[in-house]
Amino acid sequence: MILATALLAFGCSEVEGLPPFDKESTRVSAGRDDPSAGRLGGEIRAPKGASTIRLQATCVTSSPDSRAVIEPDSDGADVLWEAGDVIRVQFLKDGICYFGDLVTEEGGTSTAEFTTDDDILGGSDYIFFAPCYKKFWETNPLTGKRNFGLELPAAQIAVGDGVMAGSNLAFARSDSFEDGMSLTFTNLPALLRFSLAGDIASEVKEVTLRTTSWIAGDVIIYDAGGYPDFHPGSGGVMRTSITLSGDFEAGKEYHIALWPRELNGFEMEFSDGNGNYSVLRSTKRITLGKSVVTDIGEINLGSVFRGLGDISTDPIKYVSATEGTKPVSIAVVPDGFTLAELPMYESLAKSALDLLFDTEPYKTYKNRFNAWILKVASRESGASVTDGNGNVTTAVDNHFGTRWGADSYGDMVADQEIVYDFVAGNCPDITSGVHPIDEVPVVVIVNDHRYGGRAFISWGGRSYCICPWAFYSGGSILWRFPSIVPLSDSDLNGGYRELTEDELSIIKWSVGDWRNIVVHEFGHSFARLHDEYWGSQPTTANAYNITYWQSWPVPFGLNISGSYSTTPWDEFLNRKSELETLDPRYSRIGKYQGAGDLFGAWRSEMVSCMIDNRLYYNAWSRYLIAKRIMTLSGDLSQFNFNYWLERDVTIDPLRDTPETRADLDRSVRYYYIYPHDQEEYLPPDAPVGFIEDDYIYVRTD
């Protein structure tokens, strides 16, 4: 059966040669503009003034997109203005957005005088960039604040004891502007500093930094309390690696400019351009801050290039069971990761499992699980592209054949027999006879940037799900609760209405990343849960199909009902008063119309992970998950309502814990994912109710 939907702790094996990160982070200064940048957005060039306006500009931190020279000093670095540097200023005046350019004739100092003939006086809300924003600017319709699209290049030039021109961007803000005023710029990117040592240092032509977080490419910044905040650019390209190219010399310091991130391990590849290279890895956690130089010190490459080093493909037992008659087994596998990318996959797999086991009830029952990270290399990175109807238009030579449409993932699929055969032959809990393949859910992490998620579930328990990690390069995603709700939960013909903002403020916005998709998809493939959202078009559910799925040897969809009068969670409803006396959050249990991507079906709570990917399963789903865990661990005889109740954790992190609530600032630019409006997805030309080999094909977003 197929179902579908739409984040990291890290760890790679540390290789000798990459220095520890115990260097003190230091601040740096800078700025540089592109004088040819023209007007963008709806701004208007400020008119020429009667006199030259002066600005004393001081850089106190480092920025990308600059030709400026970096001079290391005892405190870290000075970034110097150069003659011809340009500052772009944008401001508001009489309700109109104007811009102007200021230019300096000075160079070689961190403070310089900039002048302009543009009339930039008498306005308000001044924002300065050096160099100017490269992509676009726009006004956020919700907040009125200005957003700026910026790009940090993933291909940078190595400059000994310096930083590449065009890789340092500085920012300043002022409520007003006066002739001759002073302004201090701070840099937006971070700088990673290193030097090389060893006999082959002078042979190096490229240094590539690889991470599991986006560090280059398109971002949007918006003015947050006078200082910009970063978010992935909508529709832009984010990069998880940066390549520094040029002639390297031992003893000189080099800088990689990157967007501020926290890196939980990374790798660096050093190449001579002729096929010889060394790859060094670190599991160290470092925080790369805005306008901060982080020095990782000297990297001794030795006398020969060492290739990839030892990349093991042995299974990793990341979570070990300490309770139960036998462990509950999970297998994670990669697709579209080359041999060189397997350490990155390992970090991603650990991160996804960390989030899964930080979500209830998996967190409570974690000591009953074995979680295996299996490894196999693909010949090429990524997944194949289809036309949306299953026909491959761009082939990628990956191991498990994952593929789906460029604009739709209704036909997202892998070669399931290859998946199951590989897991059956490589998962120690299967090869040792603890479990058959039918009892080991498989998570396929795909090295692809397209949004998606899908689970395939059979009647006897066999299942796998597909979760691409690189959508927005692992950046933030926002899922909103469906906007159309029924007027009556009991009346199928009662009509529909828009969700109010007050209701939404109680439900909250679900914000996360690709790992939330893993938690949702695992809800399908392991816990056998159906989707609990619904489309915006009134459609009556097929109660027969729901009943059929629920009658499978390993039931599917017990979290929804095709009947209002009788539901699988009637015991919970009958004991609701008792439950509420123990915890008022159990008052959320009820009968809510809308589930399984349809109206005319019911769910047990207003909101849950199977609706908007939040890290919260409703109470009835938590019961089903716990029962599945106890079944697979061989201890179902211990399980009953009271056993579950004693261990149940009712907290929804979005609604119940103040420090983790997602009271979303509407000015944040996330990619928005809404539950789709299409009907149940079926294979092309399939009749209504089509079932093939006891697999159901259901599409979710």
Residue 13 reports pLDDT greater than 90: no
Give, in degrees to the nearest 5, the angle at Cα 340 between 336 and 341. Answer: 45
Q: What is the pLDDT of residue 479?
A: 85
C-alpha to C-alpha distance for 62 and 66, rounded to whole angstroms: 9
For the CA atoms of 150, 345, 354, 414, the dihedral, rounded to the nearest 10 degrees, stands at 100
Q: Which residue has the higher pLDDT, 603 or 21?
A: 603
Residues 589-602 have a mean pLDDT of 90
Residue 507 pLDDT greater than 70, yes or no: yes
pLDDT, tens only, 445-504: 999 988 889 999 998 999 999 999 987 667 778 888 888 888 999 988 888 888 888 888
The per-residue pLDDT for 51 is: 47
Which residues, other chains included, contact 194 with Cβ-Cβ below 8 Å and sequence gap of 6+?
253, 254, 268, 295, 296, 297, 298, 299
- The 454-457 sheet, strands edge to edge: 2-4, 454-457, 463-468, 442-446, 328-335, 369-373, 316-319
Taking alpha carbons only, the member of 286, 699, 351 closest to residue 514 is 351
At 470 the pLDDT is 81
Q: Count how many residues are written for the chain.
A: 701
Query: Hey, how many other C-beta atoms are within 10 angstroms of the C-beta on 563?
Result: 14
219: Cβ contacts below 8 Å, ≥ 6 apart: 149, 150, 151, 152, 230, 231, 232, 233, 236, 238, 259
pLDDT at 555 over 60: yes
Q: How confident is the model at residue 43 (pLDDT cuts 50, 70, 90)?
A: low
3-state helix, strand, coil in the chain (%, to 5): 15, 35, 50
Task: Return the percentage of the chain with pLDDT > 90, whole number.
Answer: 41
Pairing status of strand 146-152 against strand 216-224? antiparallel
Binned at pLDDT 50, 70 and 90, residue 596 comes out as confident
Q: Is the pLDDT of residue 386 over 80?
A: yes
- Answer whether residue 184 shows pLDDT above 60: yes
pLDDT grade, residue 613 (50/70/90)?
A: very high
The identity of residue 364, as a single letter, is T
Per residue in 361-385, pLDDT tens? 999 999 999 999 999 999 999 999 9
More confident site: 206 or 225: 206
The more confident residue out of 84 and 220 is 84
Q: Provide the pLDDT confidence category of residue 166 given band limits of 50, 70 and 90.
A: low
At 65-121, the pLDDT tens digits run 333 334 444 344 566 777 888 888 888 888 888 888 888 887 777 778 888 888 888
Domain residue ranges of the chain, discontinuous segments joined by +: 26-300
Query: What is the dihedral sign for C-alpha 362, 648, 624, 2?
Result: negative
Residue 258, phi-psi category: left (phi > 0), alpha (psi -120 to 50), beta (remainder): beta
Query: Looking at residue 409, what is its pLDDT?
Result: 82
Tracing tokens 């992190």 back to the chain, one arrives at 653
Angle between helices 342-356 and 514-525 (to 10 degrees): 70
Q: According to the model, what pLDDT value does residue 657 have? A: 64
Which tokens in the block code for residue 153? 């290049």
User: Residue 599: which residues within 8 A CB-CB, separation 6 or more?
Assistant: 486, 492, 496, 534, 535, 538, 539, 540, 541, 593
DSSP state of 637: G
The yes-or-no verdict on residue 542 having pLDDT over 80 is no
pLDDT on residue 614: 95
pLDDT of residue 137: 72
Is the pLDDT at 221 greater than 80? The verdict is no
pLDDT band at residue 7 under the 50/70/90 scheme = very low
Q: What is the pLDDT of residues 129-163, one digit of tens each?
A: 877 666 667 776 556 677 777 888 889 999 898 88
Contact of 188 with 28, CB cutoff 8 Å: no
* Residue 226 confidence (pLDDT): 60
- Which range (13-17, 101-105, 678-682, 683-687) has the least confidence? 13-17
- Does this model's pTM top 0.75? My answer is no
Summarize the confidence of residues 390-400 as an average pLDDT: 94
Q: 700 with 680: CB under 8 angstroms?
A: no
Q: Which amino acid is at 62?
A: S
> What does pLDDT average to over the chain?
78
Question: Beta strand pairing status for 111-118 and 241-245?
Answer: unpaired
Residue 8: pLDDT band with limits 50, 70, 90: very low
Q: Higher-confidence residue: 127 or 66?
A: 127
Which structure tokens are listed for 308? Answer: 């990839």
Query: What pLDDT was estimated at residue 473?
Result: 67
pLDDT band at 660 (very low <50, low <70, confident <90, very high): very low
